[in-house]
Every structure is written in structure tokens, then in C-alpha cells.
Amino acid sequence: MAEGSNRGECSTSPKRMRLDTDPNPTIPEFLTNCDEYQLFKLTKFYRDRLEQAMEGGVDGISFSLTYERIFTGQEHGKVTELVEKGNRRDSSKLLLSLVMGKGSRARRVMWESFVRMRHGVPKLDKILKEIQELGADSFDYMDIAHGLSELPSNLKDLQQKHKETLRVQTETLRVNTILIKEKVKIFQLVDRYAELTVISNVRDRRLVEHELLARGRDHEEWREKHLRKELEKIRNDQLFQSSFSQRKSKCGNSAAVSGVPGIGKTTMVQKIVYDWATGKIYPHFQFVFSFKFRDLNTINCRINLRNLILDQYPYFGNILGEVWKNPEGLLFIFDGLDEFKDTIDFADNRRNTEPQSVCTDPECWCEVSDIVYSLIQHKLLPGCSVLVTSRPTALHLLEKAEISVWAEILGFVGDERKEYFNKFFEDQTVAAAVFKHVEENEILYTMCYNPSYCWILALSLGPFFTQRDRKQQQVPKTITQLYSYYIYNILKNHGREIENPRDVLLKLGEMAYTGVSQKKIVFGNADLIEYNLQPSQFLSGFLMELLERDDSAQSVVYTFPHLTIQEFVSALTQFLTPDPGDIGKLLSEAHSEADGRFEIFLRFVAGLSSPQSARPLEEFLGKFPHQTTCRVIDWVKEKVEGQIGDTQTETGKRNLLNTFHYLFESQNKALAENTVGSVKTLSFNGLGLTPIDCAVLSHVIGLCDTIKHLNLQGCFIQCEGIQRLGPVLHKCQELSLGANEVGDSGVKLLSAALRNPECEIQKLGLRVNALTDSCAEDLVSALSTNRSLIDLNLGYNKLGDSGVKRLSVALRNPDCKIQKLDLYRNALTDSCAEDLVSALCTKQSLRVLYLGLNSFTDQSVPALRCLILTCRSLEWIELWGNRFSSNGKRQLESLRGVRSGLTVKL
């Protein structure tokens, strides 16, 4: 059927589905009850999400359509060719286009295919569950966007003026710079805006310990993997009245966008407003009103929504009453909930100690928090839409709110990182050199998911590749060194603007430290005055480069360009104080804060005890007190020694890991050797480790001369963690790496450690690591040359028959000394039994063999009997959970007494 027939389908009025008596039918029932028009609407409504969801099973769907003679062999070939080339997104787009062009039967077969494969494709399953929960209401919701009223003619001129005002306000992007005479560089938003990966979901907030570390574990491979399988991308234009809405309501939608500082929330809001003002998105919104919570903090009296809007958009005058008449056409944006001074509690309708007041009238006088609460909860102007942005740490405030769409900005993925540096530097040679250095430094590269960190990296590293007097060997390698050069560049370019930069930085650092301790990131004129930083002095001095000025309609506020810069200046202050007092006590108190607010501050303090980090700053600020440096080193030493054996609890493991970060930042080899040089066991099992953590751990192990056992069981380090640890793994005698999702690519890296001539690995645990037959060749290569490995645990993977057949080649090697081999639950069948047994029969070193929970049958019994009788060294063989008949089991059980000391477990 041609696409033209769709118009005929759409022109008919939809019949009411027969689902009134069953609000939650099964998906097959739902699809059976859908008429052709409704199925067309359903496909069109979910089309963007289906393009993502089908990536995991597009070839199977195409096969179903071909089997039903809807696709020709040539069309199926085009779809599968794209899959084979790795272009799954393009293949799913092509498939949907073909289906939409072939009419109603094609759509029905496609949806039936979705149902069959839903459990193997998480994104499809999610969409089907949503449809099932909504039932017939799905179609009511799809009609909401089409029921919006026309803009009255008397408001059209006002709308045009409003759009023009917003366009002018948002069309440029201000970027601070510390390297050139211009304080601020202006760019066109469309030229500079970098598309970020945003997901229609908010992940567990427990992953967000600190902004610098929060998304480290979500490295590139993790993000791409989970975006393919589970997490759905969402565009700016899909936040409202799209299939992503979890609450389908005619009362209006509220959306929440989460993201760590510097990830691009405010710039994303700016882009949304700009795109609406220029007619690119959300044509159904007649007016958009955008506010920052930091501006709302300056309102210290009761106010109504009318005056709140007029304060910022005075040209609305007395015509707002007309605007209220169509709340469905209004979008309110509130940026930065985490910066709001008041608490909005959606759980029990209470704010601070006073009852939360519900504001139902735009003319009603109340607290700002009451207005925000009432808009989000659809009590005020029901039908309007609201967008709220926040750091993850404040998201709990919205848990009980009427939020329809949750989204999170993940940041840069893949080549987006490189693209940032290409845009930042006009000289592409410099851009390539800077990015190459970043890419080769695992800690700096991991930071690059965040645009703000990219900005700091570019500003700090650029001079090393553009100025002849900079030595390449001095390029920063630690985070402390990086931030030291960030401040160094400010002092070098703008330090002459003030007589005593040390004194000013000391005062600024005291203010910054108070902010860190109180979780305060926005400062006013009163804060500057309190620390003897007069605003007039600030405006003319080099502090312009350390504090960003935000002129709002109500007042002036200041923030550091990023929280980590605030934390670095706080740490720097400890080395600028003439008499540090009992700095050890201050550091211990900070270390004891359970919420991690001082975590990065302490790393910076430890790092500034390093000559490499201190030297560039001392050029402008004078020598750091030797006494302070010594006390910091003593404190780090005390912490490492006190915690090195305390890894029984999660807190103990986390504290030890943090002290390792202090060691790494200090770059003090003697200190590290004295504290960890004789460590025999390091155990972080069950503690989630980021790639940065693994890089630090690698540094520490590299300085250990006696390390025997490294236990990283269940740390979710994946392939990238193995890559960071790779250079030192050969030093350990026992490696516990189970439940880490290292995958086949991780085994390739591990194999390099096993092939190292100095390899001491005797016991290697790789249970539950998503290994397949693809890693067999790497294992074979490693086992063929390794002389130390005697215990190999590959249980609960998917090596399969082909993988074990290849592995058997290495096991035959007389130099292979394997004593214990675990192949538990590896999808093994009779097909590999002879190869495996043939290899192991010659292995008189073999003592323990686990083959349980596979699919061996009586066909394998002769081979297994031969192994048990021939391999005289075998002490334990486990065959439990296979598919032996009673007769097969009896044959194997009869061998239990064949030799003393032999256990056959069935």
C-alpha cells in the first residue's frame, strides 16, 4: 500500500477502542483492538523513540517483514547491509520509512514483531509497557497537542516583540578567557553550541559523589553501551508533549533536567529559548518565560506571578490577563533549583517550617517558592508547562512533584570531546596537540565529558603548545597541576592589575572555603565586603578572571567559573596563610565529613604539597611555608598508614581510596614507598571504581614491591578500568576481577599482562564478565606463553563450545601449568567435550575442574569417564546441573571410588 493511503487513514475519525472495561489490556490485546488509524497514530507518535529502540533488533524485525512478504529481498538486504556496517541507527530509520510507506499491514506486522522480541530489547520493552499502562488513554494524550487554540490577533504583536527580545538575549554566548586581553569573548550561540547527550531518565543519585568524579565511571564505553541497550536519548524539542512524558495529563507537563555543574544546563536552556524565539521548536507554546533561581533569591518579599513576569518582561503591561486565558500555550522555565535559597517540599506540602501555600491565581500575593510549587503541581494556570533544571544533589526535592519527563545531561560522548578542542583553538595544530595530551592522560581525558572541564583544560594546556618558553615535559599530569597552571595563567596575564595578589587570593580563598563548607556557590556584594574584597576593587582587579559577575534584574551576584575552581582556591589558601595553625586538625575534620563535600578540596591540598604543583604559583605568590607543606605530608602519611588495613567496610574502602588519591596528587614517590611499599593485599571488592580511581590505583601498585593479592571483585571497572590498571597487573600473584563487565576487549588487555615476561599472576578470577568466544584467541595467546598461571576462573560467562575448543589448544601446551579451571555455566554442550577432555587428559597438573550448569548429556559421558580415569592428578570434578540421564549419572557416579581423594560432584 502506498504512503498516500495514510492520508486516507488519517482523514477518518478514530473509533473508540473496546478497552473501557479493561484499562490495562495485554499488548497483543491492545494491538488487536487498534484500528488502522490508531496504529498509524501510535507509530507516528513514537517514531523518534522507535528509531532508537529498534537498533537492538532491527535485523530481526526486517526478517519478520520479509517473511510476511511485506519487504522484498532487496529491501531486507539494504536494511541488513547497514547493520553489518555498524550503522544501526540508519538501518532503523530506513526500516521505519519503508514501513510507513507500505501501509497498515506493514505497521501491524512491525508492532507484532516488537511484542515477540520485547524482552531482548529493553528500549522496546519500555515503550510497550508505557502503552499497556495507558491503554486507550494513549490516544487521548496524542490529541492534546492538536487541541491548542489559535493565538488571538491582539496578542500576535506582543508575541513577536517577546520573541525578538528573547532572540537578542540568547543569540550570543559569552565565554571568559584568561589568555588574551579580552576579558570576555563573544560567540554566536549557533556557532559555539555543542550538542550534548541527554537521556530520558535520571540515574541513581548515589553515583554523584562529586562533580569532578560523578560521571567518571560513565566513561565512553559505558555510555555508548547503555545508550544502545537501555538509556534513551532525548532532544530539546521532546521534553514536552512527546512520547517521553511519563504522566499523560491535560493539566500540563512539568519536565526536570538534571546535570552536574558545567555540564551545560544553563546553555541548554538558552538554546531552548533561542530556538523557540526563532520558530525552530515548540510552536504550540505561545509564550515562554525564563527565570534563574539565583535571581529569584533576591526577592525577599511576597510577590505575584504578574509582577514576577513584569519585572523581567515589562512590555507585557496590562495585557497579561489575556495571556492567562490560554495556559496550555505557556512554558515557564526555572534554571538552577540547587541554587534556590528556599526549600520547596513536594512530599508533605511544607516549606521550611511553614505550611506550603498553594497559589491558584496569577494575581495572588505569596512567596516565590509558592509560585514555583503551584506552577509545577498544576495548581496555578493548570495546563501550562514547566521546565526545571537542577544539579543531581537537589533532585530529591522533586521526587514527589508532578514531573512528566525526567532527563539528564550526560555530557560529551566520543568525538564530541575532540570537536570541543577543535572549536576552542583557531590553530588546528594546537588543538590536535592539546587533545593528544589529554587523550594520553587517563585522568584528564576522563574529565572531558564535561564542557566546563574541557574549557579549563584548554585554557591551562594551550600555552604549553603555543608559547616557546614552555617546556613540554612540564605539561600538567595531575588535576592539581592542571589547576595550578590555570591560576598561573591568570596571574601571568592579569596579575599586574593588583599590587598584592597573594593577599587578595588569601581573602578570596577564605570566602571560597566557607562556601565549600556550607555548600554555597553563589556570593553577593555582602560576602565580598565581609572578606575585605570591595566590589570596586574586584571590578578593576584580576579577580574578574576568578569570579564571574552575573548582573540580574535585582542585584549582582558572583560565582566561580566552576565548583572545582572554588575548591582549588580554598585549598590554595592553606598555603598562603602565614601561620597555618593546626592544619592537620582542619584536614582531619574535613576528611571526616561523610557527604564528600571536602573530597576534592583535600586532594588539592595534598597536591599543592608537591613542588611540581607549587612551583608555578610561587613565581607570583612567593614561597609556600615549608612548615605547612611538611604538616600536609605528615597528615597524608598518617591517613594512609591508619587506613591501609581498614577495608572490611565500604566506608573503610572509600577512605583508603581517597588517601590513595592524596598520594597520587602529591606525586611524592618517597612518601608513597614509605606508606604502601610493603602492602601485600589491596581489597576494594564491591566498591564502584571510576577510571580515575583505577589510574590512581595503578600508580600506587606501581610503587608496591610486595603486592600479592588485588581484589576488585564487583567494582564495575569494565574494560577502561583494566586499561588503566594494565601496566601493573603482572605484579600481582592473585587477581580477583569477577563481576566487572570487562568483556572481550578487557581480556585482550589482561592477556598482555599475562604475556609479560615478569608476570607473577598465579590466580585469575574472571567470573561474570560477559566474556564470549571472541576473547578465546587472546586467552590462547596468553596461556601459550605464560608460566605462572595455575588457577583460572572463567565461570558464568558465554565462551560457548567454539570458545572452549580454542581454549583447549592452549591447555594442550605442556608449559601450561593450570591446576584449577572453572568453566561453570558457559553454555557448553557435547560439541566441545572431546576437545576439552583431549586437552586435559594430558594435563597432569590439573586438580580441580568445574563444568557445572552447562548442557552436557550422556553423549559426553565416555569422554568425561576417560578424563577422570586418565588424569591422575584430578582431585575434584563438578558436573552438577548438566543434562545427564539417570543412566549417565550412574556411570559417572561409579567412578567416585576409583581413586582415593577424588570427588565427583553430580
Instruction: Please state, in angstroms and rounded to a whole number, the distance separating the CA atoms of residues 569 and 588.
Output: 19
Give the pLDDT score at 358. 77
Give the pLDDT score at 140. 60
Tell me if residue 610 falls in helix, strand or coil: coil
Choose between 903 and 139: higher pLDDT. 903
Tens of pLDDT, residues 175-184:
766 555 555 6
| Mean pLDDT across 619-630 | 92
Which stretch of DSSP H or E encloses residue 617? helix 611-621
**Residue 457 in this model has a pLDDT that exceeds 70:** yes
Band (pLDDT 50/70/90 cuts) for residue 98 is: very high
- Out of 51-60, 246-255, 519-528, 851-860, which region has the weakest mean confidence (pLDDT)? 246-255
* Burial class of 340 by CB neighbour count within 10 A (0 to 12, 13 to 18, 19+): buried
The residue written with cell numbers 611499599 in the block is: 677
Instruction: Please state, in angstroms and rounded to a whole number, the distance separating the CA atoms of residues 365 and 563.
Output: 35
Backbone angles phi, psi at 853, to 5 degrees: 55, 40
Give the pLDDT score at 182. 58
| Mean pLDDT across 607-620 | 93
| Mean pLDDT across 131-143 | 65
The mean pLDDT value of the chain amounts to 84
Distances (CA, A) of 847 to 788, 821, 877: 16, 9, 8
Distances (CA, A) of 857 to 462, 796, 851, 863, 893: 65, 19, 12, 11, 15
Tens of pLDDT, residues 689-722:
888 889 899 999 998 888 999 999 999 898 888 9
Mind giving me the DSSP string for 732-745?
Answer: -SEEE--SS--HHH
**Residue 601 in this model has a pLDDT that exceeds 90:** yes
Band (pLDDT 50/70/90 cuts) for residue 565 is: confident
Tally the C-alpha atoms within 13 A of residue 559's C-alpha that lie toward its C-beta.
Answer: 17
Residue 558 CA, distance from chain mean position = 28
Q: What single letter denotes the amino acid at residue 185?
A: K
Instruction: Please state, in angstroms and rounded to a whole number, the distance separating the CA atoms of residues 288 and 385.
Output: 10
Tally the C-alpha atoms within 13 A of residue 121's C-alpha that lie toward its C-beta.
Answer: 23
Give the pLDDT score at 605. 96
Q: Which residues contact 831 (CB under 8 A, 6 or more apart)?
A: 801
Nearest Cα to 597, choosing from 657, 689, 517?
A: 517
Please state whether beta strands 197-199 and 405-411 pair in parallel, antiparallel, or not at all (unpaired).
antiparallel
Instruction: Please state, in angstroms and rounded to a whole number, the distance separating the CA atoms of residues 10 and 40.
Output: 8
| Mean pLDDT across 612-633 | 93
Mind giving me the DSSP string for 1-37?
Answer: --THHHHHHHHSPPPPPTTTT-SS--HHHHHHH--HH
Please give the grid coordinates belonging to residue 601. Answer: 578540596
Tell me if residue 426 falls in helix, strand or coil: coil
Tens of pLDDT, residues 820-840:
999 999 999 999 999 999 999
Give the pLDDT score at 252. 74
| Mean pLDDT across 402-420 | 84
Which stretch of DSSP H or E encloses residue 330? strand 330-335
pTM summary value? 0.70
